[in-house]
Structure 1
Amino acid sequence: MTWLRALAVIVAVAGALLLLASGAGVRLGLWTYGTGFALLRYAAYIGIAAAVLALVALFLPQGRARWIAALLAALGVGAATAYLPYSVQQRARSAPRINDITTDTEKPPQFKKPLPYGGPQVAEQQRKAYPDIQPAVLASGPEAAFARALAAAQAMGWDIVDAQPKEGRIEATATTFWFGFKDDVVVRITPLPAGSRIDVRSKSRVGRGDTGTNAQRVRAYLKRLN
């Protein structure tokens, strides 16, 4: 059954390569994000097939000793290849179909070139899904708060597009890890009688949903501020 063991390894490698290609192709402009998601799904199927083939081959005693390391590797690679698309699918199912998240749903921070907000319907979905996303309140004045907000944005790895201390506004572009999607972020600093309030908004440029990416980004940013 040498052919079965070899097949398990080949299928595992093919699945892993397809998984990597799904994101790399979108980043390089070789295909659309729709094709990228399709390749991600196919990679999961191939990963499952590789894991099953490796398990079957591991139970075949004849000549197993020579293949044990390769088959265990094929099993691990196949399982990992299947898990990533599965985790993305689970996040997509649990997240609301919105792609615009903000700490102020009544008066969202606005970009220099205004981007429309979805209104009460989007706000209600966000409140139900992400009730923890709230403005940050700092004890420092607007100038110090602005510097802190800008430093946090830079620490997030965002590309700063515009920073206006007098207006209390910071705009940036965030790039997602796998597909390289470009999302727009704006931070607003508002003076308070005893400190400053910081609001943030993160909006995807493509798609109706975001698999929770914008909410994760806003949470991570607020954590850096506090």
Structure 2
Amino acid sequence: MKILVSLTSLIAFLLVVLAGPLYKFDVIELGTAFTGFKFGVYAGIAALVLLALQFLLRRKTVTLGSAIMAVVFSAIAIAMPLNMMNKAKSVPPIHDISTDLVNPPEFVAIAPLRADAPNPVAYDGIETAEQQRTAYPELQTLTYPQPKAELVGAVEQAVKNLGWELVNTDSNEGIVEATDTTMWFGFKDDVVIRVNDQGSERLVDIRSKSRIGGSDLGKNAERVHAFIKELDAVLAK
């Protein structure tokens, strides 16, 4: 039974942890990856049940090392998918976030890169805007006193500091576009930053949109927050 417990917990762990990299490198489809999540949770629960039975029926075969390994692997296999499910329930099921909900920045150079993406390049509309206002009321247009050219340069630097792929910079239009690739699944989410003049101030708007998926699990809002923080840090230097 010791071998069975260890093997079951290891399988559970691998089903969950490897789902992202296997999808990222085009070995499996996204639906298969999520199926792996489901069976990983089942296998993790099964491993814990088998471990409990081993303690009850064959206590002498239990070793501390194998028990700890089984618990850790099973806990990871169960916790990671459940955490994602809980996150999905705590945020709105949207994948397009913008600090300007009336006139969101438009993707230009990135638009052709999204030609085959399930999520279209156009803004998702009024329903998405309403859900964002409720969930992320703090995300609004930013104002800065710096000249437009200086702000565009700072935006570029912030993009680079965050490790995003810089796709396009149009200093005249005040547009910077970039793509952020998530580490685990390799999802590509696109970002456009717009800098406009308004009298003595500059208005900065950020939009982040996923190429795939209905809910972004709050990732795009987190990305916008991270960018604002990094831009302020660059401008403070």
The alignment's TM-score, normalised by the length of structure 2, stands at 0.86
Q: Distance in 1 between matches of 2:46 and 2:221?
A: 34
User: Is the aligned partner of 1:120 residue 2:126?
Assistant: yes
Equivalent residue number for residue 21 of structure 2: 24
Amino acid at match of 2:92: P
User: Is the aligned partner of 1:146 residue 2:143?
Assistant: no
SS in 2 for 1:167: coil
Pick one of 198, 201, 206 that aligns with 1:195: 201
1:38-187 equivalences under 5 Å are 38-58=35-55, 62-63=59-60, 67-112=63-108, 115-187=121-193
Amino acid at match of 1:101: I
1:171 and 1:187 in contact (8 A); partners too:
yes
User: Is the aligned partner of 1:37 residue 2:43?
Assistant: no
The alignment's TM-score, normalised by the length of structure 1, stands at 0.90
Shift of 1:59: 5.4
Give ranges in structure 2 of 5+ residues lacking alignment: 112-120, 233-237
Q: How many residues in Structure 1 have an aligned counterpart in Structure 2? A: 222
Equivalent residue number for residue 225 of structure 1: 231
Shift of 1:86: 0.5
Shift of 1:166: 1.4
1:51 and 1:76 in contact (8 A); partners too:
no
Using the TM superposition, name which of 190-199 and 9-18 deviates more.
190-199
Q: Percent identity?
A: 35
1:136-174 CA-partner distances (Å, limit 9, x unpaired): 322322111111111111112111110111111011111
Q: Distance in 2 between matches of 1:207 and 1:11?
A: 30
Q: Distance in 2 between matches of 1:78 and 1:67?
A: 16
Q: Distance in 1 between matches of 2:145 and 2:24?
A: 41
Instruction: Note the aligned Cα RMSD (angstroms).
Output: 1.9
Q: Distance in 2 between matches of 1:55 and 1:104?
A: 54
Shift of 1:193: 3.0
Equivalent residue number for residue 115 of structure 2: none
2:154 and 2:231 in contact (8 A); partners too:
yes
Q: Distance in 2 between matches of 1:68 and 1:19?
A: 24
